[in-house]
Amino acid sequence: MGPARTPRRILLVGGGGREHALAVRLAGEPGVVSIVAFPGSDGIASVPGVSIVAGDPLDPAAVVAAAITTRVDLAVIGPEASLAAGVADALVAAGIPTFGPTAAAARIESSKAFCHAVADAAGVRMARSGAFAALGAAAAFAAALDADGRGIVVKADGLAAGKGVTVCDTLDEATAALDAIFRDAGRETPGVPRVVVEERLRGPEASVIVLADETAAIALPAARDHKRLGDGDTGPNTGGMGAYSPLPDLPDANVAGIVASFHVPILAELARLGAPFRGALYAGLILTADGPALLECNARFGDPESQVILPRCAAPLAPLLLAAAEGRLAAAAAEAGFAGRLLPSTPEAAVGIVLAAAGYPAAPRSGAAITGLAEADAQGGLVFHAGTARDAGGTWRVRGGRVLTVVGLGADLAAARVAAERAVDGIDFDGLQRRHDIAAAAPALRGVVPVTAGTPR
Ligand code: AMP
Ligand code: GLY
């Protein structure tokens, strides 16, 4: 029962690309005997050491039943919707060590208004913002930002898989986005925030994810997501169209400062509110000319960030996930021999390209046959499945918005990019959408943005 205890059997809740990457990673670690994915996917089922159990990942009782039947030592929850549905609460109540926060702590992601309130109380820098229950007040705040010469971002409150956010170029666009949110959401409910309106900040973004409990926060390698659908950051926001790690403009030496000034105060404030957080806390940062600011918190690993981060982690994760679940992460990290707030990483770079379905993000179309997966494998690409399924005849088909993430590894980002492009090139399906510029701008970012540990306001 020392701090470095490894869970032998792990229940992995979810079935997307992030969970595929987690399954590959955890199943390959020493001491891990089996992974049970709930409900997993056909792609996840093909990972050696992984079995799948069918069921609804949003039904806490069903997840607990699967955990008990399969006698797992640890549950790891992937998707935000499961967290918000109280799956972690139910697992914890059943006595199962759980990596993934309770619904109360996961509100840091599921409510943008709550995230702003926590960040304010914790002294963490975010964009200037207001949370509004009524259209009139929201529109007035947007107009005031515009009059001040500020850009505007409109965010629906609540989970929207990264698609509830409109980054506006004009006040008219902001007004239209607000109208749409209040129309979709029906009547206004006094006192219940519907929307957050924010000042638009400028700069490259960074995703810094920590493994956390009440005792410690250990950062995984930093990554950068590409949120917009089109090349050159054009088109609508998506769940993420590609990612890379490491970041030339956010070296490891700066990540510890980020953790100290963003994650640690937020974790402390959540604990103070009676909602201690055990799981992956993801800070979506923007590196402005005045220093970093927090755009959002997620209560889980990123997708597609996990697909590029996990292959770069140079220490076993399973014992740390179990330790965080049991509230003894600080001791486990010390035992594992890494001091400070950083997990050791490999010197390799990783670039991941998302292949999305026709119609994504507004109305993805399912059904197209996918070809070239074996060729991508043969090229040395890591192929992670998200929205796919294998039909009765064995053909892989599109079944979701983001279909695949294909990751290339290399000695540096340029080499990793070449590897990813080479692996992706052979894959095809009807209506395939992808970006061609993932990580392309990375080298030019080196040193151009000040990355200070402080949080100027
Ligand atoms: P969120 O879900 O809040 O992270 O927003 C999704 C994406 O919208 C972010 O990754 C950014 O690309 C963009 N975004 C959100 N808030 C802002 C902001 N205040 N300024 C500029 N871009 C933003
Ligand atoms: N890639 C952004 C997210 O996981 O929310």
* Pocket flag, ligand 2, residue 16 (CB < 6 Å): no
At residue 113, the pLDDT reads: 86
CA distances from 220 to 73, 135, 277, 313, 316 (A): 23, 40, 17, 7, 12
Ligand 2 pocket, residue 276 CB under 6 Å: no
Q: Which of 89, 36, 35 is nearest to 58 (CA)?
A: 89
Question: What are the pocket residues of ligand 1 if the criterion is a CB atom closer than 6 Å to any ligand atom?
Answer: 127, 153, 155, 162, 165, 167, 198, 200-201, 205, 227, 237, 284, 295-296
Quick one: pLDDT at residue 156? 86
- Reference 267, options 254, 282, 255, 277; nearest CA is 277
Tell me, in angstroms, the distance from the centre of ligand 2 to residue 356's CA. Answer: 15
Output the residue whose Cα is nearest ligand 2's atom 4. Answer: 302
Q: Whose CA is closest to 302, among 164, 208, 407, 413?
A: 208
- Angle formed by the axes of helices 135-147 and 171-184, nearest 10°: 170
Ligand 1 center to 240 CA (angstroms): 12
Q: Which two tokens stand for residue 80?
A: 């935000």
Q: Evaluate whether 240 touches 226 at the Cβ level (below 8 Å).
A: yes
Contact 204, 445 (CB under 8 A): yes
| d(C-alpha 26, C-alpha 31), whole Å | 10
Atom of ligand 1 nearest to the CA of 129: 19
Ranges of residues in the chain with a pLDDT under 50 are 1-3, 448-451, 453-457
pLDDT of residue 191: 73
- Give the tens place of pLDDT for each residue, 179-218: 988 887 666 677 777 898 999 999 999 999 999 999 899 9
Which ligand 2 atom is at minimum distance from the Cα of 225? 1
Rounded Cα gap, residues 85 and 67, in angstroms: 17
Which is nearest to 430 in space by CA: 362, 371, 390?
371
- What's the CA-to-centroid distance between 49 and ligand 2, angstroms? 27
Residues ≥6 apart with Cβ < 8 Å to 79 = 13, 14, 16, 18, 19, 57, 300
Per-residue pLDDT, 161: 58
User: Which ligand places an atom closest to the C-alpha of 151?
Assistant: 1
**How far, in Å, from the CA of 428 to the mean position of ligand 1?**
30
Mean pLDDT of the chain: 93
The verdict on the CB of residue 205 being under 6 Å from ligand 2 is no
Closest ligand 1 atom to 127 CA: 19
- Site of tokens 């609508």: 236
CB atoms within 10 A of CB 22: 26
Give pLDDT, residue 341. Answer: 86
> How many angstroms does the Cα of residue 98 sit away from the middle of ligand 1?
29
Q: What ligand 2 atom has the least distance to the C-alpha of 162?
A: 5
Question: Two tokens at 395?
Answer: 């053909």
Q: Is the CB of 400 under 6 A from ligand 2?
A: no
Task: Assess whether the C-beta atom of 387 lies below 6 angstroms from ligand 2.
Answer: no
Atom of ligand 2 nearest to the CA of 305: 1
Within its chain, how far is the Cα of 251 from the centroid?
A: 20
| Sign of the torsion angle spanned by Cα atoms 126, 131, 137, 142 | positive
> The whole model's pTM is what?
0.93
Measured in Å, residue 286 CA sits from the centre of ligand 1 at 8
**Strand order through the sheet with 402-410:** 224-225, 242-245, 349-356, 402-410, 382-385
Tokens found for residue 278: 């055990």
Contacts with 176 (C-beta within 8 Å, 6 or more apart), sequence order: none
Domains of the chain, earliest start first: 9-100 (3.40.50.20), 128-199 (3.30.1490.20), 202-347 (3.30.470.20), 349-444 (3.90.600.10)
- The strands making up 129-132's β-sheet, listed across from edge to edge, are 129-132, 195-199, 152-156, 165-168
235 Cβ contact partners less than 8 Å away, ≥ 6 residues apart: 228, 229
Judge whether 297 and 277 are in contact, CB under 8 Å: no
- CB of 80 shorter than 6 A to ligand 2: no
**Contact 302 CB / ligand 2 (< 6 Å):** yes
Q: Which of 108, 145, 238, 286 to mutate to test the pocket of ligand 1 (most atoms within 8 A of CB)?
A: 286
Nearest CA to ligand 2 atom 5: 302
Rg (alpha carbons) of the chain, rounded to whole number: 21
CA–CA separation, 215 vs 323, rounded Å?
A: 10
* Interval between CA 225 and ligand 1 midpoint (Å): 11
Note the pLDDT of residue 218.
97
pLDDT confidence of residue 194: 84
Determine the Cα–Cα distance for residues 183 and 194; give it in Å rounded to an integer.
11
Residue in 2, 47, 56 with CA at minimum distance from that of residue 26: 47
Our answer on whether the CB atom of 164 is closer than 6 Å to any ligand 2 atom is no
Q: Is the CB of 305 under 6 A from ligand 2?
A: yes
DSSP reduced 3-state for 198: strand
Sign, CA torsion 309/164/57/89: positive
Classify 419 as helix, strand or coil.
helix
Closest to 268 measured CA to CA, from 327, 195, 216: 216
Instruction: Using the atom order of ligand 2, give the atom closest to the CA of residue 161.
Output: 5
- Give the Å distance between the CA of 155 and the centre of ligand 1: 9
DSSP string, 153-171: EEEESS--TT-SEEEESSH
* pLDDT for the residue 456: 38
* DSSP 8-state class, residue 363: S
Is the shortest distance between the CB of 162 and ligand 2 below 6 Å?
Answer: yes
* CA 305 to ligand 2 centroid distance, Å: 7
